[in-house]
């Protein structure tokens, strides 16, 4: 299986800050990477797919980059509603696997 790791595991930042979350795959996955946001008690929401393509309706302060094994999710101008856990997910190899998540808190 392709193992996904994320760092940091949690981050606390202020409104207006920039938050960067990294995701690393145990083997190359080209650009087969997606990012999800999950608020407490809610289903995950797709933010980015193909490593860098913003899902329709997602604010432009979210952006993704990377290919191969190293990826980043950047949240510019952090907003209160961005308080959530963020997961990366690979679909290059079977079975599909998710990262362990990064919890973003607002100071």
Q: Exposed/middle/buried for 40, CB within 10 Å: 0-12, 13-18, 19+? A: exposed
Residue 11 touches other proteins, criterion: CB under 8 A: no
Among 7, 11, 98, 106, binds other proteins (CB under 8 A): 98
Q: Residue 14 or 42: which CB sits closer to other proteins?
A: 42
Q: How far is the CB of 73 from other proteins (least distance, A)?
A: 14
Q: Residue 33 or 78: which CB sits closer to other proteins?
A: 33
Residue count, binding to other proteins (CB under 8 A): 24
Question: Which parts of the chain are beta strand (E)?
Answer: 4-7, 10-13, 19-25, 33-38, 45-49, 53-54, 62-67, 70-75, 84-90, 97-98, 102-106
Give me the sign of the Cα torsion angle 49, 51, 57, 62.
positive
Among 43, 60, 80, 107, binds other proteins (CB under 8 A): 43
Q: How far is the CB of 33 from other proteins (least distance, A)?
A: 9
In 3D, which of 106, 101, 75, 74 has the Cα closest to residue 9? 101
Binding residues vs other proteins (CB under 8 A): 32, 34, 36, 38, 42-46, 49-50, 55, 87, 89, 91-92, 94-101
């Amino acid at each position: 299986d392709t193992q996904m790791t994320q760092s940091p595991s949690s981050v606390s930042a202020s409104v207006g800050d920039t938050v960067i979350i990294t995701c690393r795959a145990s083997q190359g996955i080209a650009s087969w990477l997606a990012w999800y946001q999950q608020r407490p008690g809610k289903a995950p929401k797709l933010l980015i797919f193909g490593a860098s393509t913003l899902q329709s309706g997602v604010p432009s302060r979210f952006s993704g980059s990377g290919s191969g094994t190293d990826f980043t999710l950047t949240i510019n101008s952090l907003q209160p509603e961005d308080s959530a856990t963020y997961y990366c997910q690979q679909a290059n190899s079977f079975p599909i696997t998710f990262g362990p998540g990064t919890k973003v808190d607002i100071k």
